[in-house]
Structure 1
């Protein structure tokens, strides 16, 4: 049988045509015409003050913390159950990531855990829209406002998701998006910083280009202005090739999301009676972008054994995401038992817009057999 990959990007002729246009334009590097068009499209879609196109979401998080003024020794509370990019970004600026436990039903950060971790050294909070599901922003906003802290939304996985009718990516004063190959829309790699504050965006844009601004713009100034390095910057620019792909992908968000929703609904239908898994929970006030479909396995199931059986049949699968506080790089002092439990038991099955319902049926049939083969208490 043909393999069923865990993830697969939805890229085709439209995206190829957009790339060909950039090849013919004479400008393929960053901060060119396509990059500017992408930023304008993001501003329009999300209703934000400004948007900065970047090479990945990790860069967006790093620049956000720099512009928010995080200093060495400052504490930033981060959602624990997540790809560790937020905690990495805190370390990049010399801060201290403080890991907050998550809700057992959603995997998103628990607002009560956040508030309990606030100290005089706390300067902000990074919430994560876990694998595509927005966090509890009403409660988080109230907490950060009450304590005078910044709030950043890591919406890396959540393009197309909503919370109380508002799109993920516009749920906090600063938000960061990812366009990695696994995400709902993609250019292979890519990211963006969205903010209500144009001054913050201007600073991030300058830092993303070594601190000298757009070479494309400077090349069009009459005369020979010599750029001056006014900030310590980085090479975080998104190429115009990637920006052109994303301009196409932005227009396909609705189409691709509907296909993912159909896949999620099929899984939910077929696994509704499966005693050895718990299905994803989506609260009624939000919608899921379905970057991933994570099942929580019964504690008696050997997850590695299930994975080995599925992979032997050409079916992709994975562990979910990370309990960041358990990663050795951080030497964390916090205990996040709910996150640790999800890290041990969650299991990702194939989820992407290219899946057919017949393939979903095959995944579920194989999964049921594997679950019973690797349950210590046979069901």
Structure 2
């Protein structure tokens, strides 16, 4: 029973076959353009740029926003370290902000305490699929003249106060990695309220010269000029074709994930050795991951070994970025560090059956009892 599993089938295969027959499998072709138009409509943004992955989208966003050496960008700490790495790509300094203990999303108060004269913006993260507190965060950013970028890598299908995750800031970055709510194996997108930001990102994503496919349709022999340093961040038309099918299935796949999460909640309710995920009433979760927080008395590694020994996939959750050696030395984020030590990710994907979910819950309850000493439990066996 794997931790993750991509929901790909015959419709996606048929879409790929059409690309093969078209003769244009590379990036920025007709499927990529259609995908961008669909994302723009779906999210109600100014424009969307399909790219190779969410890390590329974050990098392009910071370039388009003019971040440079000497600047500081505040980043949510409890996440895959891609946001902080993107800040480093442009020569700026990532400043890690601690997170809320209940949701794992960035603490707006912690962000406020970190703002200096060198701060130019904030990257918030929709932690494993749960949107951050964007309204107070945006109000704070507006008071200080800062940009906000939404890392919505895990949050395709989630909402905050009725708005879609990915469109909650001036720039949003999506991931279509294999474990996400919509996937092409790898892939990403940049969503921008301002079409100028999207245009900058689109140009830089293709070595700074734009779409070769579009140029090929021009009568004559246009010779592009390289006016900007660009990157090869294009999304192939093969991946774009898959994603167009997947976007049409987002509601269906999210409903299945939500049902799995609800069942976990029922089966694990009242378990004193763990805490369940918290979802505030003003938002919905995309359930990229289902993470429980283990009691401090529990040996997480022992629990994981017991589950994996029964063929049940599990993981540590995500990272306290400030603890990673590549960013040392970094200021402490104690809440993030605590979640990093105690969170455990359980199998979560749209293909899980009710029987499998029950098997996971039963195995987890048993493993918890074995992974804590009788003395810690007050003498209980």
- By the TM > 0.5 criterion, same fold? yes
- Looking at structure 1, the residues matched to 45 and 241 of structure 2 have their Cα atoms a distance apart, in angstroms, of 21
- 1:240 pairs with one of 237, 240, 253: 237
- 1:86 pairs with one of 83, 86, 98: 83
Partner of 1:292: 289
- 2:341 pairs with one of 335, 340, 344: 344
Partner of 1:251: 248
- Looking at structure 1, the residues matched to 6 and 204 of structure 2 have their Cα atoms a distance apart, in angstroms, of 30
Partner of 1:358: 355
Matching of residue 104 in structure 1 with residue 118 in structure 2? no
- Looking at structure 2, the residues matched to 14 and 332 of structure 1 have their Cα atoms a distance apart, in angstroms, of 48
- 1:306 pairs with one of 282, 295, 303: 303
- Deviation, 1:143, is 0.4
Partner of 2:18: 21
- Looking at structure 1, the residues matched to 59 and 102 of structure 2 have their Cα atoms a distance apart, in angstroms, of 29
The count of corresponding residues between Structure 1 and Structure 2 is 376
Matching of residue 178 in structure 1 with residue 149 in structure 2? no
- 2:131 pairs with one of 129, 134, 145: 134
Partner of 2:160: 163
Deviations 1:45-90 (A, max 9, x none): 0000000000000000000000000010100000000000000000
- Deviation, 1:334, is 1.2
- Deviation, 1:291, is 0.3
Aligned partner of residue 51 in structure 1, secondary structure: strand
- Looking at structure 1, the residues matched to 136 and 332 of structure 2 have their Cα atoms a distance apart, in angstroms, of 22
For 1:107-118, what aligned pairs fall within 5 Å after superposition?
A: 107-118=104-115
Matching of residue 53 in structure 1 with residue 50 in structure 2? yes
Partner of 2:322: 325
- Looking at structure 2, the residues matched to 132 and 223 of structure 1 have their Cα atoms a distance apart, in angstroms, of 48
Partner of 1:193: 190
Deviations 1:224-247 (A, max 9, x none): 111111110000000000000000
Deviations 1:263-315 (A, max 9, x none): 00000000001110100000000000000000000000000000001101110
Aligned partner of residue 237 in structure 1, secondary structure: coil
- Deviation, 1:332, is 3.6
For 1:204-219, what aligned pairs fall within 5 Å after superposition?
A: 204-219=201-216
Stretches of structure 2 that go unaligned for 5 or more consecutive residues are none
Partner of 1:280: 277
Matching of residue 144 in structure 1 with residue 166 in structure 2? no
- 1:335 pairs with one of 326, 332, 335: 332
- 2:372 pairs with one of 337, 358, 375: 375
- Looking at structure 1, the residues matched to 293 and 241 of structure 2 have their Cα atoms a distance apart, in angstroms, of 38
- Looking at structure 1, the residues matched to 291 and 222 of structure 2 have their Cα atoms a distance apart, in angstroms, of 53
With normalisation by structure 2, the TM-score equals 0.98
With normalisation by structure 1, the TM-score equals 0.99
- Over the aligned positions, Cα root-mean-square deviation in angstroms equals 0.6
**Contact 2:323–2:330 (Cα < 8 Å) also in 1:** no
Aligned partner of residue 6 in structure 2, secondary structure: coil
- Deviation, 1:333, is 2.8
- Deviation, 1:331, is 1.2
**Contact 2:304–2:315 (Cα < 8 Å) also in 1:** yes
- 1:68 pairs with one of 54, 65, 70: 65
- 1:315 pairs with one of 288, 302, 312: 312
Runs of 4+ in 1 over 4 A off after TM superposition: none
Partner of 2:37: 40
Aligned partner of residue 295 in structure 1, secondary structure: strand
